[in-house]
Structure 1
Amino acid sequence: MSTFDLQEIRKQLDQVDREIVTLFEERMRLCGDVAEYKIENGKPVYDGERERQKLDSVKAMTDDSFQKQAVEELFSQMMTISRRYQYKLMAEHGLTARMDFKAVKELPLKGIRVVYQGVEGAYSHEATLQYFGSDVDAYHVQFWEDAMKEVEAGRADYAVLPIENSSAGAVSDNYDLLIKYHNYIVAEIFLPVNHALLGLPEAELSDITTVFSHPQALMQSSRYLNSHRDWAQYSVENTAASAKKVLNDGKKNQAAVASETAGRLYGLKVLEPSINHNKNNTTRFIILSRDPIYREDASKVSISFELPHTSGSLYNMLSNFIYNHVNMRMIESRPIAGRNWEYRFFVDIEGNLGDAQIQNALKGIEEEASNMRILGNY
C-alpha cells in the first residue's frame, strides 16, 4: 500500500468519525428526552431488561462473531454514558441518592461516652484517648460486635473500631458489622503500631520461653519472635490482654507483645522495644455514631453495595466515579452469606455528601447496584 493510499484511507476514517460524533450527539439528545420523560413520570434511569434487548438487537445486525462482541462492547459503553448523562439531568431536578445525613460544624463531644473493644492498654484504648482526649468517659467491651451494639442501643455515643492495618490488611469482621448494624462512620484516626516485648519487672530476656499476644501482633513481630526458636507463641484476644495475663500469672518465663503504654499500665518491664519488623505499621480506626451526621469539611465517603457475579458488573458500577471525576481511595470485597459467588463491595471515595459529583455518582450506584448504603462521610 502506497503512502497516498494510506492518507486517503485516513481521510475516509476522519469523515466516518465526524459522522459518528454527529450521530452520537443526536443519540445523547434523545437520551436527554428520555430522561425528561422519566423525571416527569417518576421512572428510574436504569432499565436492565431494555438494555439487554437493545444489545441483542444490535448484535443481530452483524453476522461476524468478532463484530458481534465489538458491537456489544461499544453499545454497552454508550448506554453507560447515557445513564451517567441522565443521572446528571435528574440531579439538576433535585433527584439524587437517598441521603438522610445532616451536616454539622463539629461532632458533638460534650458529655459523651465512648466504647472500645478490649481492655485498658489495648491499641483501641490508645486510639480512643488519642481522638477524644485522656479525660473522656470511656469503657471497654469484650467483642467488636458488643461495641456496635452499645452504640446502636444508645448506651454509648461513639465506638472506636479498627478497620484496616497497613501490613495485615482489612479487619474483615468489622466490615461485616458495618452492614449488620446501622451505625455511621463519623471520623477516623491513624495509630502507629509499635509492639514491645513485655515481662515481669524481675524478668530478663534470657528467662522467656512463652509469648502471648493477639494473632496480628504475633504476625507483625514474627521475624523477631521466630528468631528465638525455643519460644512458644500463643494467641489471646488482644495485645493488652496478653500484658494483663503476664501480670496475673506472675511467671518470669512469660512475655507479652503489646504497646509500651500497656506495659506501664500493668507494671511490666520492656524486655525489647519495637520488635515489629514494619516500623511504618499503622492501624486505621473508625469512629462510629448511631446518628447519620458528618462534618461540613468531611472529605471521604464510605459506601457499600452488592453485585451479581457477572462479567463487567463491577466495572460498570465504578464507572459512576469515572464519569463524575470522583477519586476512589479503597475497595474491599466480602462474600455475601448464603449467596455463592456474589459479593458485597466496600468503597472509599474522596468527597463530601454536599458535592454534586458525589451525589450524581451515588445516584447511579443506588439505581444500578443492590442494597447500596452510605456508611459515612468523614
Structure 2
Amino acid sequence: MSDQEKELKVLRDQIDSIDKQIHQLLNDRARCAQQVAEVKEKHQGPQDAVFYRPEREAQVLRRVMARNEGPLADKEVARLFREVMSVCLALEQPMHVAFLGPEGNFTQQAASKHFGHSAHCIPFSNSDEVFREVEAGGAHYGVVPIENSSEGMVGHTLDLFKRFQLTICGEVKLNIHHHLLRAGVEGLDGITHIYSPQQTLSQCRSWLDNHFLSAERVPVSSNSEAARMALQQGPGAAAIASELAADLYQLNIVSKNIDDQSDNSTRYLIIGDQIVGESGQDKTSILVTVRDKAGALYELLEHFHKHEISLTGIETRPASTESSHSVFYIDFQGHSANSHIQKVLQELESDSVELKILGSYPVAVL
C-alpha cells in the first residue's frame, strides 16, 4: 500500500465512522418527531392536531445558519436540514401541497424548496383551483406566485384573497434560471426550433439573438410544455425550461443560465387555513378597502409612518366597476400579534371601509 493509499484509508475510515454517527442521529431525530406527533394528538386530538409549524421551522433554519462554521455554506447546510425536517414531518403527517402547475415548472420547484422533497406536490391548472383545493381540505397548503422581480405583482393571485377565506402561512423566494434543454444530444448544433412561453422567450432574447438568430422560436403554454415538446420533436428541437423540467423529461441541459437578467426572481406565497405564530422575523399582509377620495393612500401610509413600520410592498387592486372604493394590498414588516402592529391595524380598521388581514408569517429564510 502506497503512502497516499495509507493516508486516504485513515480519512475514509473517519468518514465511515462519522456517517455512522450521522445515521444514528438522524434516526434519533425521526423518533423524536414521532413522539412530538403523539403528544400533539394526545392533547389536541387527531383531527385538530397541527403538525406543520412554519414559525418553528423558520427559527430552526435561522439557528442552523447562525451557528454554521463552515466549510459548507450557510444556505447549503440549511437546505440539508430542510430535507431532514421534511422527512421527519412526513412521519408525523404526510404533507399534501397543491401548486399552480403544470408539473416540472418553477412553482413546483418553489414548493419543494419550501416543504422539502418528502411533501407530496399536486399540480393544478390555475390558481383558482389551488385556492379551492386548500379551502376544501383536499390539500394542507397551496403554493402560488405573487411577485416577479421583472414583471411585478400577480394581480389575479391578489384578487383570489378577496374570494377565498384562506391565510398566508409563509413565503418562498426562488431565483429563476432558464436553461436550454435537448433530448439525447449534447451541444448547440442542429437546433432548428426552440419551444418556450412567450414571457421566457422575452427574458432570454439577447442570448437567443446571439446564438440562434435563425432558429424558429415557438411560443407554448408553459416551460413544462416546452420540455415535453423538445422530447417529442427530437434532436432538432430545444426547450427553455427549468432544471426540474430537465430531470422530469430526462433532457440534457446544453446551456445553463441563459437569462438576460441574472437576478430574476419570483416570490411565492404559501396559503393555508392556520394562524402562524411569531418567528422573530415576520411579515404581515393585508387588504384594505377605502373610499375613493384625494389623499386616500396618503392617509393609509401615514399610519405606518407614525409607528415606524416598514412597508415591503403595496399594490392597488380594482374594486367592482360600480364601487366608489379602492382596494390596496399591503405587505409590511412585523407580526400582527405584536402590540405596535395591533395599534396600526386598529387605526387602519377605523379609517377604512374594510380591513382583511391575510396573515402574518416568517420572512423567507432560504
Structure-1-length-normalised TM-score: 0.67
Q: Per-residue deviation at 1:209?
A: 2.9
Distance 1:361 1:338 in 2: 29
| Structure 1 counterpart of 2:236 | 253
Q: Per-residue deviation at 1:296?
A: 4.3
* Amino acid across the alignment from 2:131: M
Equivalent residues in 2 for 1:209-288, closer than 5 Å = 209-227=192-210, 228-247=212-231, 249-288=232-271
After superposition, the Cα gap between the structure-2 partners of 1:152 and 1:276, relative to the gap in structure 1 and judged at 3 Å, is same
Matched, 1:375 2:325: no
Matched, 1:331 2:317: no
Q: Per-residue deviation at 1:121?
A: 1.9
| Structure 2 counterpart of 1:155 | 138
* Pairs aligned (count): 275
| Structure 2 counterpart of 1:320 | 303
* Amino acid across the alignment from 2:139: A
Larger radius of gyration: 1
Q: Kindly provide the CA deviation profile for residues 314-369 of structure 1, in whole angstroms up to 9, marking residues without a partner as x.
A: 10111111112211111111222324785321111111112111111111111212
| Structure 2 counterpart of 1:292 | 275
| Structure 1 counterpart of 2:102 | 119
* Amino acid across the alignment from 2:151: A
Q: CA contact under 8 A between 1:294 and 1:376: conserved in structure 2? A: no
Identity in percent: 29
Q: Per-residue deviation at 1:300?
A: 0.5
Q: CA contact under 8 A between 2:191 and 2:237: conserved in structure 1? A: yes
After superposition, the Cα gap between the structure-2 partners of 1:371 and 1:234, relative to the gap in structure 1 and judged at 3 Å, is farther
Equivalent of 1:194 in 174, 177, 181: 177
Q: Kindly provide the CA deviation profile for residues 157-190 of structure 1, in whole angstroms up to 9, marking residues without a partner as x.
A: 0001111111222122211122221111111111
Q: CA contact under 8 A between 2:227 and 2:239: conserved in structure 1? A: yes
Which deviates further from its counterpart, 184-193 or 194-203? 194-203
Q: CA contact under 8 A between 1:186 and 1:294: conserved in structure 2? A: no
Equivalent of 1:106 in 56, 63, 79: 56
Equivalent of 2:335 in 344, 352, 355: 352
Q: CA contact under 8 A between 2:180 and 2:253: conserved in structure 1? A: yes
* Amino acid across the alignment from 1:337: S
Distance 2:283 2:106 in 1: 24
- Partner of 1:205, secondary structure, is coil
Distance 2:311 2:339 in 1: 16
Q: CA contact under 8 A between 2:54 and 2:170: conserved in structure 1? A: no
Distance 2:288 2:315 in 1: 11
Structure-2-length-normalised TM-score: 0.69
Which deviates further from its counterpart, 210-219 or 298-307? 210-219
| Structure 2 counterpart of 1:77 | none
| Structure 1 counterpart of 2:348 | 365
Which deviates further from its counterpart, 149-158 or 173-182? 173-182
Distance 1:104 1:192 in 2: 21
- Partner of 2:274, secondary structure, is coil
Q: Give structure 2 stretches of 5+ with no counterpart.
A: 1-52, 58-85, 362-366
Which deviates further from its counterpart, 138-147 or 312-321? 138-147
The Cα RMSD (Å) is 2.3
Q: Per-residue deviation at 1:298?
A: 5.1
Distance 1:188 1:356 in 2: 23
